[in-house]
Amino acid sequence: GIAFNSGSQVKALEGDRGRITASMVEKAINPDDIHKARTRVVSIENTTNRGGGACYDFNELKKIKSVCSNHGLAFHLDGARLWNALMARQETAKDYGNLFDTISVCLSKGLGAPVGSLLLGSKEHIREARRVRKKFGGGMRQAGFLAAAGLYALQNHIDRLAEDHHHAKITADALRHKSWVPDLMEPETNILIFTVDGAFTAPELCDEFAKHDIRCMAISPTQIRMVFHLDVTPAMVEKLLNVIYHLPG
């Protein structure tokens, strides 16, 4: 999609639960060679999705920023779950704003607005982004209603993200006692990814949970992804823990 729509190439790096380092970025920069695409931007994701909601260490982000500055590269943050990272690490949005050239954030997901993503950047970045959006056919009329919902989410739903993080942790604690869960990614925020083996495949366990009106996703034949958000109440989590407890094994 990136190549087809934007004429760009991507060099993906395999990091630790989706987190890359400054040294990895340094090594990945293409040389000044007419046979290779020019390296222009470094993009990171915080929190990481398939990394089970893992958070970056801010000092490592500053090191990556230094590499970008030394090589004239833009630094972009996919911050769809940035609010979760800020809550988990007790960091500030201002620190991130000072570090990155552009940031995308999501007002749905953990914050619970019905829809809505925002791009943050300088006036020049936003002017160019609006032009590119129009070129792709993007745009929305009467968006004020959604903006109001987004403002409400920002004003009321950030502090409560800690509850989602707690729900992920206690669910992980329950799953650890099951013989058919040989491994799980320690949840730092609201995403829990774990491996199943033996009594269930991942789809089979999802079907078992569905019998109790519990929805989760098999992201591979052996891995399940659970996400906790404001619509998942403490009572629902108690029910989930009870179901896990009574499953054989």
Query: CA separation (Å) from 116 to 105, 151, 203, 230, 240?
Result: 9, 11, 30, 16, 29
Indicate the pLDDT class of residue 54, thresholds 50, 70 and 90.
very high
Count CB atoms within 10 A of the CB of residue 124: 8
Whether 145 has a pLDDT exceeding 90, the answer reads no
Cross-strand pairs, 118 = 105
Average pLDDT over residues 70-98: 97
pTM of the model: 0.93
- pLDDT tens digit sequence for 203-245: 999 999 999 999 999 999 999 999 999 999 999 999 999 999 9
pLDDT at 110: 85
Average pLDDT over residues 141-161: 92
- pLDDT tens digit sequence for 167-179: 999 999 999 999 9
Indicate the pLDDT class of residue 115, thresholds 50, 70 and 90.
confident
Average pLDDT, the chain: 95
Whether 122 has a pLDDT exceeding 90, the answer reads yes
pLDDT at 184: 97
Percent of the chain clearing pLDDT 90 (strictly above): 90
Whether 164 has a pLDDT exceeding 90, the answer reads yes
Contacts of 185 (CB under 8 A, 6+ apart): 17, 51, 52, 54, 192, 193, 194
Tokens of 19: 């987190």
pLDDT at 83: 96
